[in-house]
Chain A
Amino acid sequence: MSEAAALKRTPLFDTHHAHKARMVNFGGWEMPVQYRGIIEEHQEVRNAVGIFDVSHMGEIVVRGPEALQLVNFVTTNNAAKLQSGQAHYSGLLYETGCFVDDILVHKVSETEYFLCVNASNQDKDFAHITSHNRFDCEVENAGPRYAQIAVQGPLSPKVVNRVTKDDISLLRYYWFTETEAAGFPARVAHTGYTGEDGFELYVAPKHAGPLWQALLAAGAGSGIAPCGLGARNTLRLEAGMALYGHEIDASITPLEAGLAWIVKFDKGDFVGRAALEAQRSAGVKRRLTGFEMTERGIGRDGYEVRIDGEAAGWVTSGGPSPTLNKNIGLCYLPAAAAESGRPIEIVIRDRPVAAVTVPTPFYKRPK
């Protein structure tokens, strides 16, 4: 119990207990991994709508006359292209070109950017960004000021619109708006981590409980149900989205991780640029690749991947796909071997089991 006592809790902790959630330690936070069952929760998000407490996620605010210059210097995507109210996915890199973290950058105004970062990386990211701040702006570690609730699934626009003051049905994907949700000031972003349509709502921690209840009430007719981090993981894996600590970390570059699209070499200097340019001209040696098992078995995080009987790479994430009813995963392979359709073997408890490389995402939502 003493270990549990040291874990951080979100403002919705008591709510999770009332929902009979199973709680786990996730990056130092005591978080719900499931309520009714991961597969059931996964399918609710794919077919209707689910609600997630993601208040463990970190927030960092950069504000001041040169906020854009700092954001663009520490991230890989081009924040100068964002309009106020628009967001994008980006990378924070070391000089080595490898990941500090993957983040969402929201442009609030010409002088304010709001970054959503991974929970376990919040302090590291803050220190990293601050260490590069030679610009006329300040950096705030704003995690304690925010709770975050994700509403995801094809029915999410209908549910969220019932609680927001402004009509969010016209909000384009990867745009956000400052409005009220259940009567509380809220930043409502048309973003998500499930491969499904969805929204992420940022509110003050004291408003998280009432907002959660209001969303449950608004979604009652749509079959809304609380979903845990277990389903969040199977959903993001089907969508081929990276998870820090698995697909990306301090030894992996965006070019290796299939994230060249968030690296904008034409925007000017940024931390990690030189290393990425060198890697690009030398040729990327390994690439993240999707696979599915062709024999019985589940390839999981850390398992060895073999080609022609030789060790060739490792699995970064793997598990059952409830939507596709297959066992899928992501792995690193030598770039020359990373095209789809290649037979590989995943070593499961000392036994090589057949799999084949496939394109990602595994699942793409119907338009």
Chain B
Amino acid sequence: MSTYPDNYRYTKEHEWVSVEGDTATVGITFHAQKELGDIVYVDLPKPGLKLSPGDTFGSVESVKAVSDIYSPVGGEIVGANPALADAPDTLNSDPHGEAWLVKIRLASPGEVDLLMSAEEYQAYIGS
């Protein structure tokens, strides 16, 4: 089993958010990658895209299926992980670390506090 970092926040759509200053790093959870299976393709936005909470900003594809990724927060994309284009399987091996998806400059940093804690998320997924 993977550990869910205590300093991350989590969504019901199985994303994690880590905040430093006014910037959030967003990824998918260990549980999400396990449910998806082998991840073979990641489609991420270019910097500058403005997002409201719940907007779709990209997709993650396993061998069998396409899953949209929803922004857990509002703000502007300021970076996307360039390594995932050539190594999408990193999302299976290190979803909480190396395989972060995007960085978002937060419109309202307090929004993150509404998301689940590590403990709440693990209760949510029943692990």
Chain A residues engaging chain B, CB cutoff 8 angstroms: 22, 33-34, 37-40, 230, 233-234, 296-298, 300, 319-320, 322, 327, 349
**Would A349 and B59 count as touching, CB distance under 8 A?**
yes
Contact among B37, B38, B40 for A298, CB-based, below 8 A: B40
Q: Which of B37, B41, B61 contacts A34 (CB 8 A)?
A: B37
> Given contacts A300-B66, A349-B59, are A39 and B38 in contact (CB under 8 A)?
yes
Q: How far is the CA of A34 from the CA of B63 in the complex (A)?
A: 11
A234 lies within 8 A of B66 (CB): no
CA distance A300 to B64 in the complex (A): 9
Question: Is residue B83 within 8 Å, beta carbon to beta carbon, of the partner chain?
Answer: no
A296 close to B37 (CB less than 8 A): no
- CB of A297 within 8 A of CB of B41, answer yes
Q: Which residues of B contact A300 (CB under 8 A)?
A: 66
Whether B49 sits at the interface, judged by CB under 8 Å, is: no
Which of A40, A296, A319, A349 is B64 in contact with, Cβ under 8 Å?
Answer: A319
A234 touches B85 (CB 8 A): no
Interface set, chain B 59-77, CB cutoff 8 A to A: 59, 61-64, 66
* Contact B59 A37, beta carbon cutoff 8 Å: no
Q: Which residue of B lies closest to A349 (CB)?
A: B59
CB <8 Å contact, A320 and B41: yes
**CB neighbours of A233 from chain B (8 A):** 64
Q: Enumerate chain A residues within 8 angstroms of B62, measured Cβ to Cβ.
A: 38
Q: How far is the CB of A261 from chain B (nearest CB, A)?
A: 29
B residues lining the A interface (CB < 8 Å): 37-38, 40-41, 43, 59, 61-64, 66, 85
15 further A-B contacts with Cβ under 8 Å, apart from A319-B40, A322-B63, A349-B59, are A22-B37, A37-B38, A38-B38, A38-B63, A38-B64, A230-B37, A230-B63, A230-B64, A296-B41, A296-B85, A298-B41, A298-B61, A319-B63, A319-B64, A320-B40
Interface centre among B59, B62, B63, by most A CB within 10 Å? B63
Which A-B residue pairs are the 10 nearest by beta carbons?
A: A38-B63, A320-B40, A39-B38, A37-B38, A298-B41, A38-B38, A298-B61, A230-B64, A320-B63, A319-B63
Asked if B41 contacts A234 (CB within 8 A), the reply is no
User: What separation, in Å, do the CA atoms of A63 and B63 have in the docked complex?
Assistant: 42
**Chain B nearest Cβ from A350, distance in angstroms:** 12
* Complex alpha-carbon distance, A327 and B40, angstroms: 9
CB distance from A37 to the nearest CB of B (A): 5
Q: Give the most central of B59, B64, B85: most A CB within 10 Å.
A: B64
Least CB distance, A286 to chain B, in whole angstroms: 26
A33 and B35 CA atoms in complex are apart in Å by: 12
A39 CB, nearest partner CB in chain B, Å: 5
Contact of A39 among B63, B66, B85 (CB under 8 A): B63
Q: Which residues of A contact B59 (CB under 8 A)?
A: 349
CB distance from B41 to the nearest CB of A (A): 5
Residues of A with C-beta under 8 A to B40: 39, 298, 319-320
